[in-house]
Amino acid sequence: MPGRIRNRQLATKIVEADEAARLIPAGANVGMSGFTGAGYPKEVPGALAKRLAEANAQGDPMKVSLWTGASTAPELDGALAEADGIELRLPYQSDPVSREKINSGRMDYIDIHLSHVAQRVWQGFLGPLDVAVIEISGITEDGKLIPSSSVGNNKTWIEQADRVILEVNAWQSEQLEGMHDIYYGTTLPPYRRPIPLTDPRDRIGVPYLECPPEKIAAVVETEAPDRNTAFKEPDGISRAIAGHVLDFLTSEMRCGRIPESLLPLQSGVGNVANAVLAGLREGPFSGLTAYTEVIQDGMLDLIDSGTLRMASATAFSLSPSAVDRFNKHADEYRSRILLRPQEISNHPEVVRRLGCLAMNGIVEADIYGNINSTHMMGSRIQNGIGGSGDFARNAYTSIFVTPSTAKDGAISTIVPMVSHVDHTEHDVDVIVTEQGAADLRGLAPRQRAKQIIERCAHPDFRPALRDYYERSLAASYGGHTPHLLDESLSWHRKYLQEGTMRV
Ligand code: 0RQ
């Protein structure tokens, strides 16, 4: 790994992953790097999982609590969950094995706004952080740490942990050096000052993570790639949703509410979000910027086409082909991409000041505009709220997107009452499905219900929604947000009992 560990003192701390994993005690709180499959440690988690599995097999159970930036990959979340080695997980995950353990009650999970994590740890609610395991792309001569393809909570983990294990990954482009902006100015009240960021392009920190050398207990070398799943080609439904979002943005621009360069974009992860980004290339927009969490393929395409001037995020989430493209041209992308700690990329103060346009996927919405982003049938968690709440509440305009049905049409994603609430009606401006867009701004609850049913619901479910709404108007206890409480969750109950919400 020539040139990656340029500091002599830290080069003496190189060990194998097994040895580093032995530094993590049973019951430890472990903060690992990683955000949406980028920049997570690749070697130590596997070695730790082996140790945990052996201890569990010998009847001497051993678990750790795992904190990250967001989701990681099968080699980290999957391996540790498979070994039954995670006591508590936070703040966001999307791993199928972890999901199964959480939903069967064998793993605790705290689903938390991504911008809140650092503060919660500083406040001490989660206990002390024993060990941090952080992937970096290199170490400078004077011991500064060059971050890799995500920043996430790494600054906080390094500051808070008793000891730090570094994984230096030579697979990551050397050209990442200089692409990061690590802000060391956040603090607890009453000492807080404004975050001096008024444009997504602003640099307010330094390009390196800092860590006192005596805290660094081990350095592990690796050359393993990030997870990198490919995106699906946008299907008809994603393209229709993207079309409605673009029509909405175009009309906002024509009304003079937003400029031709739009406002800084935030886009959630997934295929629909990627299709919306792809569609922006065809729209009448230019000189766009992004202030978001994740840079996915669609954003890179927008940079390549010259439509997007600059993107600020905390992580990449690229398909294998986009990673190749990025790694080949990282030098050119450096002037157009900035990666920041998630405390800053998702900071409510900054999101509000910049006036972001937020676009996020959902599980279901109800006829009054409340949103469930996380729980299937009210109880089974899918991923987590992630950063959607950080942006939705503080954005200039908050758009939520979803196909109007799920599970081959058996489920309506527009329901009388959501079975779990992540975003209240107060944080939801626009709901878009392949059927159309409901602009809820300035509307009272009964007006919203009509818009959502007529514009967003699938035609097969519209008559039943109208019927529910009409009967609620006649028989509800209150007329402001009419509901029939005996019936409001009956659509979910029907699905659980009969496998369909259809009448
Ligand atoms: O399940 O694959 O078993 O069929 O849910 O649904 O349509 O593939 O949707 O990948 O766009 O994810 C909300 C989960 C959508 C995501 C969610 C079933 C459906 C399928 C997945 P199957 P799709 P997507 C930035 C912002 C919260 C976090 C966030 C998410 C599976 O967007 O996690 O926004 N958002 N972060 O069949 C029952 C319904 C359903 C349903 C879909 N109503 N009831 N099942 N499904 N709707 C990123 C970060 O913060 C890191």
Q: Is residue 499 part of a domain?
A: no
Residue 240 and residue 161 share a domain: no
Residue 253 and residue 375 share a domain: yes
Average predicted confidence (pLDDT) for the chain? 96
Q: Is residue 426 part of a domain?
A: yes
Cβ atoms 139, 168 nearer than 8 A = yes
| pLDDT bracket for residue 233 (50, 70, 90) | confident
Q: Which residues of 93-112 are buried (b: 16+ CB within 10 A; e: fewer)?
A: bbbebbbebbbeeebebbbb
| pLDDT bracket for residue 279 (50, 70, 90) | confident
| Res. 2: pLDDT tops 80 | no
Percent of the chain with pLDDT over 90: 94
Helix, strand or coil for residue 62? coil
Residue 154 and residue 59 share a domain: yes
| Res. 500: pLDDT tops 90 | yes
Residue 268 and residue 217 share a domain: no
Structure tokens at 67: 């904190």
Q: Is residue 1 part of a domain?
A: no
Probe target for ligand 1 pocket from 235, 269, 400, 496, with the most ligand atoms within 8 Å of CB: 269
Residue 157 and residue 127 share a domain: yes
Q: Ligand 1 pocket, 387 CB below 6 A?
A: yes
Q: Is residue 229 part of a domain?
A: no
Residue 401 and residue 321 share a domain: yes
- Tens digits of residue pLDDT in 180-222: 999 999 999 999 999 999 999 999 999 999 999 999 999 999 9
| Res. 342: pLDDT tops 80 | yes
Among 222, 251, 276, residue at a domain's last position: 222
Q: Is residue 476 part of a domain?
A: no
Among 160, 190, 222, residue at a domain's last position: 222
Task: State in Å: Cα 400 to ligand 1 middle.
Answer: 12
CB atoms within 10 A of CB 353: 16
pLDDT at residue 430 in the model: 98
Task: State in Å: Cα 384 to ligand 1 middle.
Answer: 10
Residue 398's domain is classified under what CATH number?
A: 3.40.1080.10
| Res. 435: pLDDT tops 90 | yes
pLDDT at residue 45 in the model: 98
**Is 268 annotated as ligand-binding?**
yes
Q: Where are the beta strands (DSSP E) in 362-467?
A: 364-366, 371-372, 375-376, 380-381, 397-401, 405-406, 411-412, 414-415, 430-433, 436-439
Residue 382 and residue 264 share a domain: yes
Residues catalogued as catalytic: 293
Q: Ligand 1 pocket, 386 CB below 6 A?
A: yes
Q: Ligand 1 pocket, 364 CB below 6 A?
A: yes
Smallest CA separation from ligand 1 atom 50, residue: 386
Q: Is residue 412 part of a domain?
A: yes
Q: Ligand 1 pocket, 72 CB below 6 A?
A: no
Q: Ligand 1 pocket, 388 CB below 6 A?
A: yes
Residue-number span of the structural domain to which 430 is assigned: 236-459
Cβ atoms 446, 482 nearer than 8 A = yes
pLDDT at residue 1 in the model: 54
| Res. 228: pLDDT tops 80 | no
Closest alpha carbon to 164 in 138, 129, 139, 137:
129
Residue 296 and residue 161 share a domain: no
pTM (2 decimals)?
A: 0.97
Residue 247 and residue 198 share a domain: no
Task: State in Å: Cα 374 to ligand 1 middle.
Answer: 8
Work out the angle at residue 110's Cα, subtended by the Cα atoms of residues 108 and 114, and round it to the nearest 5 degrees.
Answer: 150
Task: State in Å: Cα 444 to ligand 1 middle.
Answer: 28
Residue 339 and residue 280 share a domain: yes
CB atoms within 10 A of CB 69: 31
Q: Is residue 475 part of a domain?
A: no
| Total domains in the fold of the chain | 2
Q: Is residue 498 part of a domain?
A: no
Structure tokens at 119: 């503060």
Among 222, 244, 276, residue at a domain's last position: 222
Residue 197 and residue 278 share a domain: no
| Res. 275: pLDDT tops 90 | no
- Tens digits of residue pLDDT in 70-119: 999 999 999 999 999 999 999 999 999 999 999 999 999 999 999 999 99
Mean pLDDT of 329-348: 96
Residue 285 and residue 203 share a domain: no
Mean pLDDT of 162-177: 97
